[in-house]
A and B are shown apart, each in its own frame.
Chain A
Amino acid sequence: MDLIWDGIREAARLWWSGDGEIIEITLRTLAISSAATALALVVGIPMGAILALRRFWGRGLIVAAVNTGMGMPPVVIGLLVALILWRTGPLGDLNLIYTPTAMVVAQLLLSLPLVVGFSLASIQSVNPRLIGQMWAMGANRLQVLWLLVRETRLGLLAAVMAGFGAAISEVGASMQVGGNLAGETRVLTTATVLETGRGNFEVAIALSLVLVVLAFLVNLVLTAVQQRRPVT
């Protein structure tokens, strides 16, 4: 029990003193996970819309792949990205292994199926006659997509939350493709694993609390947006 209290006290001290390394790791974590989530949204929402609105050969297979991807173990994604970016791998010349970019790619691949899956479900639940009305009003493809995003914002914000949650909480893939290099690719999850392994529980608890508070704050903002009653 003392161990936990000591950890919490140490966490409070680190926060209070504005520990440079924790701030740096926190900002890096936020940057990598936000970039991965943003990319997942840009690619995932249109993909979800296409899967929801179009019928084409192989659609069922893609939907099944998306559903599988929603529960894909991060280490498998990590392995896949590591194999591709490894120096002797197909994209080895890009020298991306053990860089924040590699971590963004891994987190993107983890978030993407969640964003696509949630978007697909949300857009599929829209009354098809309402979509017909959007076309009838003279909307072009992009405008229909914009109106659909607006109509399904509750579900899509759930997609954002799920995507961001998957990205920020992930550890295995980040270790595999980022290498947990101090000052370069160390993020809150990988740092927590490292400090736990070293027996520095107070630092690990401090890092975990930062992670939880960060995830909570981001979701608090998203929930506020999601639950806000639209006035226009």
Chain B
Amino acid sequence: MTDHAEAHLEVRDLVVQRGGVTVLEIGALDFPRGLVTAVIGPNGSGKSTLLGALQLVLHPSRGTLKLDGEPMDADPVKTRRRMSAAFQEPLLLSMSVRANVELPLRLRGVDRRRRQELGEHWLERFGIASLARRHARQLSGGEAQRVSLARAFASQPEVLLLDEPFSGVDAPTREGLIEDFAEIVSETRPTTILVTHDRDEALRLGDHAALLIGGGLRQTGRPSEVFERPSDRAVAEFVGMENVWAGQRSESGVYRAGGVRLASTAKSVALGAPALLCVRPERIVLSRDGDGSANQMRATVRTVRPRGPVVRSDLASGRLTLTADVPVTVWDELGLTVGDEVFARIAPADVHVIEDSV
């Protein structure tokens, strides 16, 4: 990880195979105590496999997993009782809401009174106290997921393992749930491992991010760093860098790509060295008139695709194709259509440079 927070969970030389095929291989990965680590990556990248290994339900072919410096598999039940998990599906048992929330405590032999106390606290905390007597099968998706999260917190875990817990609920419900979750996590500070494919979730909830692609760890750091400063082309593509141009450094802080000159404040590569220049689509600013500022170029609108609150447009400038996301209101103000000439501007700070090994 990028800062020096104490590692609560450590993964070393982990290899998980399925049917003789390696599906996850991680040299070293630490999860800092009391912080939220967002594990991100495309489908099949090994995120859930990593979580399964940490839950001790998948058996790695190699490697060690340590919790507080002790091997996690020495006593799996004891280890699991220091953790809890919630998944995309609420996975509630066929009993009342209250009984579901209290169940992890019951399994740990907590006495009835304490169980009830903690159960009530977490039902209250997740805003579902009124559902306590309701049967778990009579809940809506959002309510069920709240119960699932309340259950995960009820045993006051040191480590919280979450596998896309918000992706199965509808947008408005999801918003409220994430808000409540963020507040509760910041108060209770369990070491949290949040598997997600959602950029906003990772940025909003994650103190750290670990990005997996193809079963390998590709980048770690603060979520904003991972999303803004990808370490290679695959990461850049996954984090939504729609513009990845092959170029080379021509002078200090200046690069040429597709016949276009681009300044960047990013860490430099050697003079003449090949580089990938990455720009997020929302960082390209369009205007009808040029003002001569850095990285401003003439471009022609090639395609227009409305995408909710933004309009995505491909533009041609020299031999470059620029993909820009422009807020609908700005787009309407500009009144652009296919074939129009426009000025595209990219702030030098928004041009991320990756040393191109090819």
Contact = CB atoms under 8 A, between A and B. Distances in A.
B199 interface: no
A55 interface: no
B91 interface: yes
Interface string A130-160: 1011011111100100010011000000000
Given A133-B85, A229-B135, A230-B135, A138 B155 contact: yes
Interface centre among A132, A137, A151, A232 (most CB of B within 10 A): A137
Given A140-B77, A229-B135, A133 B107 contact: no
Contact of B93 (A138, A147, A229, A231): A147
Contacts of B89: 127, 129
B119 to A, nearest CB: 12
Nearest to A130: B91
B94 interface: yes
A138 B85 contact: no
B246 interface: no
A147 B104 CA distance: 12
Interface in A91-138: 127, 129-130, 132-133, 135-138
B57 A136 contact: yes
A232 to B, nearest CB: 5
A4 B75 CA distance: 68
B295 interface: no
Contacts of A231: 96, 133, 135
A138 B95 contact: no
Contact of B91 (A129, A150, A229, A230): A129
Interface in B86-116: 87, 89, 91, 93-96, 99, 103-104, 107-108
B104 A138 contact: yes
B83 interface: yes
Contact of A143 (B57, B99, B107, B161): B107
A147 B80 CA distance: 17
A143 to B, nearest CB: 5
A138 B96 contact: no
B85 A136 contact: yes
Nearest to B91: A133
A139 B80 CA distance: 8
Contact of A135 (B57, B87, B95, B151): B57
Given A135-B80, A136-B161, A138-B80, A150 B93 contact: yes
Given A130-B93, A230-B94, A232-B96, A138 B77 contact: yes
Interface in B216-260: none
A133 B163 CA distance: 12
Interface centre among A127, A136, A139 (most CB of B within 10 A): A136
A56 to B, nearest CB: 15
A207 to B, nearest CB: 41
B77 A136 contact: no
User: Which 8 A-B residue pairings sit nearest by Cβ, starting from the closest?
Assistant: A138-B81, A136-B85, A133-B91, A137-B104, A138-B80, A140-B77, A139-B107, A130-B91
Given A132-B55, A137-B104, A151-B93, 13 more contacts: A129-B91, A130-B91, A130-B93, A135-B55, A135-B80, A136-B55, A138-B104, A139-B77, A140-B77, A140-B107, A143-B107, A230-B94, A231-B96
Interface of B: 55-57, 77, 80-81, 83-85, 87, 89, 91, 93-96, 99, 103-104, 107-108, 133, 135, 151, 155, 161
20 contacts: A129-B89, A129-B91, A130-B93, A132-B55, A133-B91, A135-B56, A135-B57, A136-B80, A137-B84, A137-B107, A137-B151, A138-B80, A138-B84, A138-B104, A150-B93, A230-B95, A231-B96, A231-B135, A232-B95, A232-B96
